[in-house]
Amino acid sequence: METSKPEYYEVFGDFHGVLMDKRFTKYWEDVETFSARPDDLLIVTYPKSGSTWISEIVDMIYKEGDVEKCKEDAIFNRIPDLECRNEDLINGIKQLKEKESPRIVKTHLPAKLLPASFWEKNCKIIYLCRNAKDVVVSYYYFFLIMKNYPNPKSFSEFVEKFMEGQVPYGSWYDHVKSWWQKSKNSRVLFMFYEDMKEDIRREVVKLIEFLERDPSAELVDRIIQHTSFQEMKNNPCTNYSMLPEIMIDLKVSPFMRKGIVGDWKNHFPEALRERFEEHYQQQMKDCPVKFRAEL
């Protein structure tokens, strides 16, 4: 029985209508005034949508398929998380300021909270999304392993919170819709986790072309091999085992958990699935983005 975990609203609080980790918003001025560089590449996801996967792929593209270079440090040091802040343990802004160009920046922010300089500098942006039911399952396990996150009372209670937008980074629905609007800009590439699962070669080529590099068969092969679920699960630089133990408990569940489409089927009781889908239709009725929850 876990007793040392904090209460929900001790950790999270409303920030401009978005539930956020209070440690991340405590020094918000640093985030808001962040100075993007024109050659920064921004990777945006709602949590648990495959950000680690796509980050590793993009880093492999930047490093021209050099696996050894990608194994020089943990993914969260190679591609810092912009807003991530935990007093002295992690400071995304500081990490980014110290990085040489071209930088790859990760964020989970909804479009309205993104620092203005990314738009002013016309940076390229990759937005990766994943179907809501698999996100909620993955997020539930993430709550269990993060030592400074409260434990959900049950899966159903967590799903209710998710539907209300009462999870960090707020409403998944608003997040997807806000970034879909932005993807009308050709500097923004909108991608789906399910497409990557369906045909990784096609999606890797798409990414390489978006980054204006040569998608040689050799490079694509190397990327696919190095970023497979099993490789990343066994790689300390991508499986989060390099995160301080004070932050994460990988004995409860691995970070690289299943990596599949449709795990929601093992978690949603029928009545909850129905409720979720009805609510989903309401939330997404004006949004043309269609997600696949099975392949």
Question: Which residues are part of the catalytic machinery?
Answer: 108
Here the tokens at position 241 are 């085992």
Should residue 51 be labelled a site residue for ligand A3P when binding is judged by CB under 6 A?
A: yes
Binding segment (CB under 6 A) for ligand A3P, from list 46-54, 85-93, 181-189, 203-211: 46-54
Q: What is the DSSP string of 95-114?
A: HHHTSPSSPEEEE---GGGS
Lay out the site mask for ligand A3P across 88-127 (x = CB under 6 A, - = otherwise): ----------------------------------------
Closest C-alpha among 146, 109, 128 to residue 255: 146
Here the tokens at position 88 are 């002295």
Here the tokens at position 130 are 């994943």
First vs last Cα of the chain: how many Å apart?
A: 37
Of residues 37 and 292, the one with the C-beta less far from ligand A3P: 292
Of residues 46 and 280, the one with the C-beta less far from ligand A3P: 46
Should residue 283 be labelled a site residue for ligand A3P when binding is judged by CB under 6 A?
A: no
CA dihedral of residues 35, 39, 174, 158 (deg, nearest 10): -90
Lay out the site mask for ligand A3P across 199-228 (x = CB under 6 A, - = otherwise): ----------------------------xx
Of residues 148 and 228, the one with the C-beta less far from ligand A3P: 228
| C-alpha pair distances (Å), 225 with each of 96, 175, 240, 258, 260 | 28, 31, 19, 17, 17
Should residue 138 be labelled a site residue for ligand A3P when binding is judged by CB under 6 A?
A: yes
Cβ of residue 144: shortest distance to ligand A3P, in angstroms? 11
Neighbours of 36 (CB within 10 A): 21
Helix 51-62, helix 217-226: angle, nearest 10 = 140
Cβ of residue 60: shortest distance to ligand A3P, in angstroms? 12
Query: Which residues make up the interface to ligand A3P (CB under 6 A)?
Result: 45, 47-53, 134, 138, 141, 227-229, 232, 256-259, 263
